[in-house]
Amino acid sequence: MAITGECFCGNIKYKIDGKLKDARSCHCSRCRKAFSSQASAYALVEPHEFSWLQGAELLTSFESLPEFGFQFCSQCGSTLCGTHNGMPHGVTLGCVNGDPDVEIGYHLFVGSKATWEILPTGVTCFDEGPQ
């Protein structure tokens, strides 16, 4: 069964013909700013399993690091996916519809998390990235 997702205004929709993998939550200062939140929750996808169903012409891309970036809705601002070399390689879990059958496996860059954030217990945390 395909996984679907969409932006806040519903003008951009996508589907994934596969499973989400390696879900994580990143707490670095860059993700806090990019997602206007305490962290970014996302999971990886195989690029060949991902397709835009509607509204791809409304996507805006931003390259945050060489070869890596984000795509978001130019109408409502929802960040939909992370990109590698211009291709989607991960989706933000907040824009996935329904139950994607995935759990956050670990938290990254908790060494630089916001001072006001309280981390959940029982989840693996890394001060930076996993080694």
Which DSSP letter does residue 15 get? E
Number of independent structural domains in the chain = 1
CATH of the domain at 78: 2.170.150.70
Domain that holds residue 32: 3-125
Q: Is residue 75 part of a domain?
A: yes
Q: Is residue 53 part of a domain?
A: yes
Q: Is residue 38 part of a domain?
A: yes
State phi, psi for 69 to the nearest 5 degrees: -165, -160
pLDDT of the chain, 131 residues: tens digit per residue: 799 999 999 999 999 999 999 999 999 888 888 888 888 999 999 999 999 999 999 999 998 778 888 999 999 999 999 888 888 889 999 999 999 999 999 999 999 999 999 998 888 999 997 76
pTM, rounded to two decimals: 0.87
Which residue from 120, 123, 103, 117 is spatially nearest to 31, judged by alpha carbons?
117
